Structure 1
Amino acid sequence: MTPYTEAHGPTAQLDMQHLLHPWADMSRLGQQLPMVITEAHGARVVDSTGKSYLDGIGGMWCVTVGYGRAELAEAMHAQALKLPFYTPFGAMSNEPASELAALLAELAPGDLQRVHLTTCGSTAVESALRFAHYYFGATGRPQKRHILSRADAYHGSTYLAASVCGKAWDRTCFQYEAGFVHHLSAPNPYRRPKGMAEADFCDWLVEELEQRILAIGPEQVACFIAEPILASGGVIVPPQGYHARTLEVCRRYDVLYISDEVVTGFGRLGHFFASQAHFGIVPDMIVLAKGLTSGYQSLGALLISERLLQAVSGERAPSNSVFTNGFTYSGHPVACAVALANIRLMQQERICEHVREVGPYFMARLNELRRYPLVGDVRGDHLMACIECSSGLVEALPSAPDIAIAQRVDAHCQALGLLVRPYESMCILSPPLTITRAEIDEMCAILARALELTQQDMAAEVGEADKRKAGGAC
């Protein structure tokens, strides 16, 4: 552990004494020295010691138009002076929320024309799952309440959202819904059974979904929730054709399909919405957050098919027809004003087109890192990617947990001026969407050097172990 010194500043000390961070290691509570980020510009952030880093994770998948954009700060300031907040409940509204809903409906695929605004990705997912239950309850089928998700999925940390998460690493001492939540296999081609072709793996995954629906009973299954690319679980890109085929199965058994685009939406894959433009599907619901405001404000959104809403509204509404879901800060006017300004900037600066241009270059440069024996896999799509480390590919080095190798790579990256996101055996990357080819080259050069240094570290440990063994033999 790096000891606290005055050079780290008073904020670090206050943090250690008083803050409980998301995903905090409780065994080290109050002992971990935080990196305090004090400013950011473009694709770089600066810590309290004055050190600058290339931000390889875009804050947390969030940053679309880059840091330090005056246009977003000005939109925030103007709206806060005009109307900082008012209740969104019932028939109350505000201009930015209504304008944002209309713009999202215009950009969205198919008939996803109704927008339910929330506070973040977790509450948007929670709302999607609750709407699925509401829909079937309002249409006289309350028994259709079971939810299907996948291993390695991440959908948030509110109760239902956390329950549908499938990352074993995240499951600790909390309680999770188990009665009506079910997890399918992760659609990870890198982990498919040895000797199985990817097309056969896709067949197996689709068959698994259908058989699980049949085993539970189609009359009891409400929805299937899926990230187009499993983000936090390791940037898992499902096999070709997986999405269209799983949607077809859901349609066959009247199971609602929820596309969690918290990460893949708003330009990360080169489109405002990836479901149709990138994967060829129009789901029943789409969940958004993160890039919606470029991370400048907290905001989430749920888009719902008109087909579903028409079945539960107007003359078809149930006797108890109030949709009792929402949050104090749903449709917050300042957050919505920032989202509108962010979308305008993305359109003016052709951010999605930029991602489609530099994304393949980013993936090509990362794939060059396969030359290092510590790299087990490189995967991703446009500006979301993952390098998975594997000690099993390095016969000359001692057996070590893959997670420990990835942590070493992450530490070397940080020392060299690059922030990546560590998760288990993986180094995850999701840079700001404004990243340039020169910055991609810089990022890949640092990653290469970090892999070299990690191999040197481990080779040195082999030498020390051999010396100790030789000394013991004498």
Structure 2
Amino acid sequence: MDTLLETAELRNELELPEKDARHVLHPWADLQALGKQQALVMNSAKGVRVRDTEGKSYLDAIGGMWCMTVGYGCEELADAIGEQARKMAYYTAFGDVSSEPAAMLAETLAELSPGDLNRVHFTTGGSTAVESAVRTAHYYFSAQGKPEKRHVLSRVNAYHGGTYLTQSLSGKAADRTHFHYETEFVHHLSSPGHDPDRDSISAEGRLKELLEEMEAEIRRLGPENVACFVAEPILASGGVLTPPDGYQKATFDLCRKYDILYVSDEVVTGFGRLGHFFASETRFGIIPDMIVTAKGITSGYQPLGALLVSDRIAESVSDAAPADKPVFSNGFTYSGHPVACAAALTNIKIMKRDDICGHVQDVGPYFISRLRELLSSSIVYTVRGDHLMACVECWTGEEAGPNAQNMALAARVDAYCQEAGLLVRPYENLCILSPPLVISRSEIDEIVAILENALTRAAEDLAAGKI
């Protein structure tokens, strides 16, 4: 009987890819392969490694999706989630109702955040947190008698989420398909990335160009019409694009000059990926009006996002609330979810106790320096990154960028990595890496060794005309 049960369970596992192909519509799915392409189905994970249903282990060099901080299979985090679920799995946070974990987490985030960002609005993830930031900016200016200040500045190659508004804010050309996008009040500035290895212009020259363009766009729209600027400190999903030094502070100063709110999207750069709980002040010298966080806040163990709002904005909104409609009508069924907040509290406790940020400050530069050794490959156009977020850009040696052959080459590199037990994130002609923050130097060496071999094999295929 036991043998029959085990056989049935094994058969069920082996059929999972077929079930997935038949029924699941994945985020960013290849629609031409819908129903045909079989997903890599994972069923367990520990530390920095995940295992699929066939028992194969992979070093997860993408941290799930920028999420993983304390590593997979953390019993302490799992216990905190289970304990809170047993104590009180859920209750609404609408109006004047809250929960113990939500109140405690809000206080903790206020302590971790820079300046006067002491008011926390909980959401379900980064997308809803960014959307809430824009809505808050609109409400803020409307409450001040300036409803015309509603235009929003974003950037080419930015990624801010998957809702209608945040997809409109996102500036990745590859994501623009048959969906509709807000174009009346959302405006995209040039991609701010600067690569000193490849760009002919200096960092100073590039910064000057970017600032002149931004100021010209503000003047074109009219400062009296612009509500906020939404910006990732480093553009993550767009290809780990790092602006020239001083860009974040200079754009912040421009926003101050024209009474425009600065929203720092730290969904990726926050919670340790750059070696700090928040990078805005410690790394880039700014105290934004709002900070958005998600992903690493729970180490991916629970879905949670948060919008941190300055006291200045929160108090202004409160003071100007109309007597007949004093409601802040923004929020979600799962805002401040007790189990998610309990996970975040425990995640922060572990990060502090184990000095995860200090660990990232130690191994992050090593990670980038080891990856830069791959520049010796003939099919690597450039390597860029900062601490534990990085990107290897592939090319055939002819034309740089996401053309068909370069993308096919990168896909081949990705396939060879997966075959060897390494997961990198393929996007266009890029191999993006964001490993769990607990990664060791020896595991970094393993990533680089597998990548190097994959690049060599792909280069051989290219030379043989197989790509």
Q: Is the 8 A contact 2:249 2:284 kept in 1?
A: yes
1:256 counterpart (257, 261, 264): 261
2:100 aligned to 90, 95, 100, which one? Answer: 95
The residue aligned with 1:414 is: 418
Using the TM superposition, give the Cα deviation of residue 10 of structure 1 relative to its aligned residue in structure 2, in angstroms: 1.9
- 1:198-220 Cα shifts (integer Å, max 9, x gaps): 21011100111111000000000
Out of 280, 291, 297, the residue aligned to residue 296 of structure 2 is 291
Q: Residues 239 and 90 (structure 1 numbering): CA distance in 2 closer, same or farther, change over 3 Å? A: same
Residue aligned with 1:87, SS:
coil
Query: Relative to structure 1, is the Cα distance of residues 114 and 435 closer, same or farther in structure 2, using a 3 angstrom cutoff?
Result: same
**Whole-angstrom distance in 2 between the partners of 1:68 and 1:7:** 24
Matched, 1:329 2:334: yes
Indicate the residue corresponding to 1:454 in structure 2. 458
State the SS of the aligned residue for 2:245. Answer: coil
1:230-282 CA-to-partner distances (Å, cap 9, x unmatched) read: 00000001100000000000000000000000000000000000101111111
Report how far residue 87 of structure 1 moved: 1.0
Equivalent position amino acid for 1:93 in 2: S
| Paired residue type of 2:149 | K
Structure 1 segment 107-186 matched on structure 2, within 5 A:
107-186=112-191
Give the CA RMSD over aligned residues: 1.8
Residue aligning to 1:76? 81
Q: Distance in 2 between matches of 1:446 and 1:193?
A: 25
Question: If the length of structure 1 is used for normalisation, what is the TM-score?
Answer: 0.93
For residues 283-324 of structure 1, the C-alpha deviation after alignment (integer angstroms, 9 at most, x for no partner) is 10000000000000000000001111121214x333432110
Distance 1:8 1:389, change over 3 A: farther
**Aligned partners of 2:240 and 2:389 also within 8 Å:** yes
Write the distance in 1 (CA, Å) between the matches of 2:11 and 2:449: 32
Output one character per residue of 1:371-395: Cα deviation in whole Å (capped at 9) or x when no partner: 0011111000000000011223599
1:7 and 1:49 in contact (8 A); partners too: no
- The 5 A counterparts of 1:41-56 are 41-56=46-61
Distance 1:369 1:393 in 2: 18
Work out whether residues 375 and 389 of structure 1, in 8 Å CA contact, stay in contact via their aligned partners in 2.
Answer: yes
Alignment pair present for 1:37 and 2:24: no
Instruction: Give the counterpart letter for 1:197 in structure 2.
Output: S
* Residue in 1 that maps onto 2:447: 443
CA contact (8 A) 2:378 2:397 kept: no
Task: Choose 197-206 or 59-68, whichever is displaced more.
Answer: 197-206
On the 8 A contact 1:289/1:300 being kept in 2, the answer is: yes
Task: Provide structure 1 residue ranges, at least 5 long, that are not aligned to the other structure.
Answer: 466-474
For 1:46, the aligned partner's letter is R
Number of residue-to-residue matches in the alignment: 455
CA–CA distance in 1 between the matches of 2:230 and 2:186? 11
User: Which residue pairs with 1:225 in the alignment?
Assistant: 230
Question: 1:303-314 maps to which residues of 2 (within 5 A)?
Answer: 303-314=308-319
Amino acid of the structure 2 residue aligned with 1:148: L
Number of the residue aligned with 1:275: 280
Check whether the contact 1:229–1:236 (CA below 8 A) recurs between aligned residues: yes
Q: Could you tell me which runs of 5 or more consecutive residues in structure 2 were left unpaired when the two chains were aligned.
A: 1-9
Q: Verify the 8 A CA contact 1:391 1:400 in the aligned structure 2.
A: no
Q: In structure 2, do the counterparts of structure 1 residues 191 and 209 end up closer, same or farther at CA, with 3 Å as the change threshold?
A: farther
**Which residue of 14, 17, 23 corresponds with 1:9?**
14
What is the letter of the counterpart of residue 455 of structure 2?
L
| SS class of match (2:227) | strand
- State whether residues 373 and 393 of structure 1, in contact with CA within 8 Å, keep that contact through their aligned partners in structure 2: no
Q: Which residue, 207, 216, 219 being the options, matches 1:202?
A: 207
Partners of 2:266 and 2:26 lie apart in 1 by 25
How far has the Cα of 1:159 moved from its partner? 1.2
* Alpha carbons 1:374, 1:393 under 8 Å: kept: no
Q: Deviations over 1:110-139 (max 9, x none)?
A: 110000000011100110011011111111
1:434 aligns to what SS in structure 2?
A: coil
